Structures are given as structure tokens and as C-alpha cells.
Amino acid sequence: HILPCTNTNLKHSDLNCITPQTLAKCLDGHYNHLIDKLIIIDSRYPYEYEGGHIRSAHNIFTKERIIEMFLTNKEDILKKNDKQKRIVIIFHCEFSSERGPSMLRFLRNQDRAANRDHYPKLFYPELYLLEGGYKAFYEQHSVSLKQFIMKTIKKKKNFPK
């Protein structure tokens, strides 16, 4: 794997977990020499995503959308500009406890099934889980809001008649 992984997440020890700092470095371009495409999958529900999300994250929270994006339409993603670089996919949900890991495992299993005749080949070998999820990333990096898209709430003004 090209990103530094942490093995402190005992619940998801089968997954490659990265820290919020590593994701911030990815977003800031520190790994551009290794990454051709960075895809962030936010597995939270739409109302959570719309309340604020990591810059460039895709809100995908169903298995059907995972299949559509990564398997049905994989040619769009797999077109690489630089054959020496990798496609990196980072999953998360609010805490990266259930939904994010579940979606990552689902994609990995579907990828394995699609490549069963070419083992160990995978379309997406670089799958990662954001340790601590959106909550940890936001807590550690909200000072620098350039990493976030925040929903702006427009307040209605009550004008006197």
C-alpha cells in the first residue's frame, strides 16, 4: 500500500486504516507523486453529508451505488493519466465504525468476485478506511476549513410591514 496505515483499530484490523492527518496530506497534495486519483466515499446518510463534508467526497451510502460507480461504470474511474500512479479510495462514515467499513468490505468482495479468474488482481487494490471517521477528521482539521464543504444556513429576515 502506498499510504501509511495504522494498526490501532482493533475492530477493523482486516482493513487498511489511515489517520485524519494522512487524509489531510492527501487532500493537500503530499502524495500526488503516488496518487493518480483520490476518491473519498462518505457513507453517511444524505442529511449528514449535506450538513458538512470533506472536500471532494462522494456521498455513497448504498451497495447499489457502490456497484454502479465502481463496477458498472469502472472504465471512467480506471482511466488513469499516469500508469505509474494508483487510484486511492478512502471510505468513512461518522465514526468509521459501521457504515464506512461495511461499504469498503462490500467493494473489496465485489472486486474479488469480478477478478476471481485473475487472482490476486484487483481493480481497486488501494482501499482505505479513515480512522475515527468524519468526526475525528473534523475535530483535528476544522481550524483549516479549506478541507470542508459546509452547508450555509440562510436565515429569513422578518421585515416589519
Reply yes or no on whether 93 is catalytic.
yes
Range 58-67 contact pairs with CB under 8 angstroms and sequence separation of 24 or more: 60/103, 61/99, 61/103, 63/103, 63/106, 66/41, 66/103, 66/106, 66/107, 66/110, 67/110
Choice among 5, 17, 26, 93 that is catalytic: 93
> CA 145, CA 16: separation in Å to the nearest integer?
26
Q: Which three cell numbers stand for residue 131?
A: 480512522
Q: Which three cell numbers stand for residue 148?
A: 470542508
Residue 123 CB contacts under 8 Å (≥ 6 apart), including other chains: 70, 71, 74, 78, 111, 114, 115
Range 75-79 contact pairs with CB under 8 angstroms and sequence separation of 24 or more: 77/37, 77/39, 78/123
List residues with catalytic annotation: 93
